Amino acid sequence: MLKKTERLTAISQQLEEIIGKVMEMERKYAHKLSQVHPVYRKSALNLIHYLGFRSYDIDLLQDELRDMGLTGLSNIEAHVMKSLLMLNYIINHLLGKPVTEANKGIVSIKKSKKILNRNTKLLFGYKSKKRRTRIMVTLPGSAGGDYRFVNHLIQLGMNSARINCAHDNPETWGKMIDNVREASGKQAKNCKVMMDLAGPKLRTGAIQPGPEIIHIKPEKDMAGKVTSPAKIWIAPPDIPPPDDTASAHLPMSEELFKHIKRGDSIQLKDTRGKKIKIVIYAKKGNGKWASCSRSAYISSGTKMLFRPDNTEKQTHQVGRLLPLEQYISLNIGDYLVLHKDSRPGEPAQYNTSGKLLRHAHISCTLPEIFRDVKKGDPVYFDDGKIEGIIEKASEEELLIRITYAKETGSKLKADKGINLPDSDLNISGLTEKDKRDLEFVATHADTVNLSFVNDENDVQQLLDELIKFESPLGIILKIETKKGFRNLPRILLKAMQTFPIGVMIARGDLAIETGWKNFASIQEEILRICEAAHLPDVWATQVLENLAKKGVPSRAEITDAAMAQRAECVMLNKGPYIEKAVKMLDRILRRMQRFQKKKETILPKLEGAENLYLSHDKFNV
């Protein structure tokens, strides 16, 4: 067994080697460092130092340090050179060697925290009282016509409002932003507006439309008795439901809509000749909620009878309904043709004896991918719910064999995500739509969220476009592909030529792209790289998803939300119970910061410990 002096000498030699490598990295990338904005100069240097440090496998060194009661270098990210030099200083002191502490130009532990706080404030603005981690909320389109809803979100703790340019239009975005600005001003809270550019998202194309009909279905018990009437949204055709709790959307003319009020009823006969009564019970924004206690099939143009204020009955018609959403049913072993041309997709076709006549087929939104894929590449549809492998590939179509689906068959619908994680896709980071939307974003928003960032060229495209606008626009880089993760250091160094910037861990696509078994460690590495660069990060996708959509959280997502406090911001997606989700997340984050700050474990006083009891009662917030 080595003596203590020999062990310390071996550690010192390893540290000297690592420090030498870190300095070599600094010289090697001096040109990239010189291009970084002065705001980020020290942060970029620390990032390079961290990458040099991580180029070593230091597991054994960490074990050796811990065995000797020294720091294990596990929280070195934000202050790499300072930590390495301080550890080497201590070891040399223990060896009795002459020591000199070099501090000039080195980011200290205390300074690194100040830099991250500054960079976070530059991007996200104010933080809530008693909570370090910000909350970003994705607004539904209905927020443009519902000021009270937006105002309440800010009261509950929303620090920034996210608007996705993949949905709605500039007119709706403008109304949403106006509500955020007005509510922020009245509450003296600077709630930031973040707008996502849609980016080159690969999705399934259209499917042959179904009939223009809606099915109204009240909830029933096992005996077939109605337990809860169907909830129906009634409004002019251009006013969508405010959330996804509506059983159906019944469009009607402005003339009829302005006359109906709470307590009124509308009578009609459905497609089967069945008499139906719909009762208005509440107003919401620019529409009204109604209920129906009978199952009904209603088509476009169905006649409606209405008697306003006990006057003579009037006859109106149901407006144009959206065609029923169709789908392609896929089972393991089935084949699907993905084609370049834009003809609507269709399910597989069989003759009367069950013989296959034609495989199911569907188009995709980015026809340029056909030049980059090859036989044997895996394909994932709809967030990984359906998996396949390319059996044949040409410049016009792909023949895909389904390798995973539900036992009862999976439904593939239009506008569902497609992931090709092993294909080297040469797709630009900015689409023509993104460039058009950017003009609005630069004028009205505080920050642009750049989707599907794959390399530094994607960042450069955005920087080139932003030169056209004299706007101090922040940038959040959404990392959601395997290529984006691989190129993250170069992406950050390119983006650090401007400020303020941050990173979003877009966990939905990223998990599929990188593989489920790899995702947890990859998410961890992104957090570490961001900390090394002193850049704020956003923990996004499916945070409290069940709570926001169904009103009840799962146990796993509560733990996930608690872990999210290691990021500077947590993003919630929209849902009918989003206000409840914001309130819950605010409490979780405030409570967890008593136990952990970033990766640093905090040990508050544990009440009752001296009597062998455990209590968290005093940690309530």
pLDDT above 90 for 613: no
600: confidence class by pLDDT, cuts 50, 70, 90: confident
DSSP per residue, 107-165: PPHHHHHHHHHHHHHHHH----TT--SEEEEEPPGGGGG-HHHHHHHHHHT--EEEEET
Q: What is the CATH number of the domain that holds 311?
A: 2.40.33
146: domain CATH number is: 3.20.20.60
Which pLDDT value is given to residue 158? 96
Among 282, 317, 352, which residue terminates a domain?
317
Q: In the chain, what's the furthest Cα-to-Cα distance?
A: 104
pLDDT tops 80 at residue 620: no
**pTM of the predicted protein model:** 0.85
Rounded CA separation 10/36 (Å): 37
pLDDT at 611 over 70: no
Domain containing residue 360: 328-419
Give yes or no: residues 235 and 277 share one domain: yes
Residue 81 belongs to a domain = yes
> Mapped to the 3 state alphabet, what secondary structure does 50-62 carry?
HHHHHCCCCHHHH
With a pLDDT cut of 90, the percent of the chain lying above it is 66
Residues 377 and 475 in one domain: no
In a domain? residue 323: no
In a domain, 322, yes or no: no
Show contacts of 432-438: CB within 8 Å, 24+ apart: 433/165, 433/198, 434/165, 434/197, 434/198, 434/199, 435/465, 437/165, 437/170, 437/195, 437/197, 437/198, 438/197, 438/465, 438/466, 438/469
31 domain residue, yes or no: yes
The rounded distance, in Å, linking the Cα atoms of 164 and 136 is 12
Q: At CA 87, angle to CA 82 and CA 91, rounded to 5?
A: 150
Cα–Cα distance, 272 to 443 (Å, whole number): 52
- Looking at the fold, whether 162 and 134 belong to one and the same domain comes out as yes
Would residue 558 count as lying in a domain?
yes
Query: Do residues 311 and 377 both lie within one domain?
Result: no
- Measured distance CA(429)–CA(457) in Å, rounded: 8
List pLDDT tens digits, range 146-185. Answer: 999 999 999 999 999 999 999 999 999 999 999 999 999 9
- Residues 194, 227, single domain; the answer is no
Cβ burial of 144 (10 Å; 0-12, 13-18, 19+) is buried
Indicate if 162 and 232 belong to the same structural domain.
no
For the chain, first and last CA: distance in Å? 52
Tell whether the model's pLDDT for residue 483 goes beyond 80: yes
pLDDT digits (tens, 9 = 90+) for 420-459: 999 988 887 789 999 999 999 999 999 999 999 999 999 9
Whether 617 is in a domain gets the answer no
Domain boundary at 70, 85, 107, which? 107
In a domain, 606, yes or no: no
Query: What beta strand segments (E) does 10-93 contain?
Result: none
Under a CB-based contact definition with an 8 Å cutoff, are residues 47 and 493 in contact? yes
Across the range 293-297, mean pLDDT stands at 92
Q: Is the pLDDT of residue 218 over 70?
A: yes
pLDDT digits (tens, 9 = 90+) for 298-356: 999 999 888 766 667 788 888 888 888 889 999 999 999 999 999 999 999 998 888 99
CATH number at residue 338: 2.40.33.10
Q: Tell whether 481 and 591 lie within a shared domain.
A: yes
- Average pLDDT on 128-134 reads 91
* Helix ranges (DSSP H) in 327-481: 432-444, 456-466
Assign residue 358 a region (left: φ > 0; alpha: ψ between -120 and 50; beta: otherwise): beta
What pLDDT is attached to residue 260? 86
Mean model confidence pLDDT for the chain: 90
Domain ends where: 52, 78, 107? 107
DSSP three-state, residue 270: coil
- State whether 162 and 195 are in the same domain: yes
Predicted confidence at residue 101, as pLDDT, reads 65
Q: Are 439 and 410 part of one and the same domain?
A: no
Whether 100 and 187 map to the same domain: the answer is no
Residue 312 sits in the same domain as residue 332 = no
Q: Is the pLDDT of residue 608 over 80?
A: no
Helices 170-187 and 147-156: crossing angle, nearest 10°?
Answer: 50
In the chain, DSSP finds a helix count (H) and a strand count (E) of: 18, 31
Summarised one tens digit per residue, pLDDT across range 245-276 is 788 888 888 878 888 888 888 899 999 999 99
Sign of torsion, CA 408 412 417 418?
positive
Q: Is 284 exposed, middle or buried (0-12, 13-18, 19+ CB in 10 A)?
A: middle
Predicted confidence band of residue 96 (pLDDT cuts 50, 70, 90):
confident
The predicted structure's pLDDT at residue 1 = 47
Are 457 and 565 members of one domain? yes
Burial status of residue 166 (CB atoms within 10 A of its CB: 0-12, 13-18, 19 or more): middle
Q: Please count the structural domains in the chain.
A: 4
Burial category of 614 from C-beta neighbours within 10 Å (exposed 0-12, middle 13-18, buried 19 and up): exposed
Tell me whether residue 578 is exposed, middle or buried, using C-beta atoms within 10 angstroms of its C-beta: 0 to 12, 13 to 18, 19 or more: buried
DSSP class of 365: S
Judge whether 566 lies within some domain.
yes
CA distance 584 to 162: 19
State how far the Cα of 577 lies from the Cα of 301, in Å rounded to an integer.
Answer: 33
For the residues 359-384, what does the mean pLDDT come to? 94
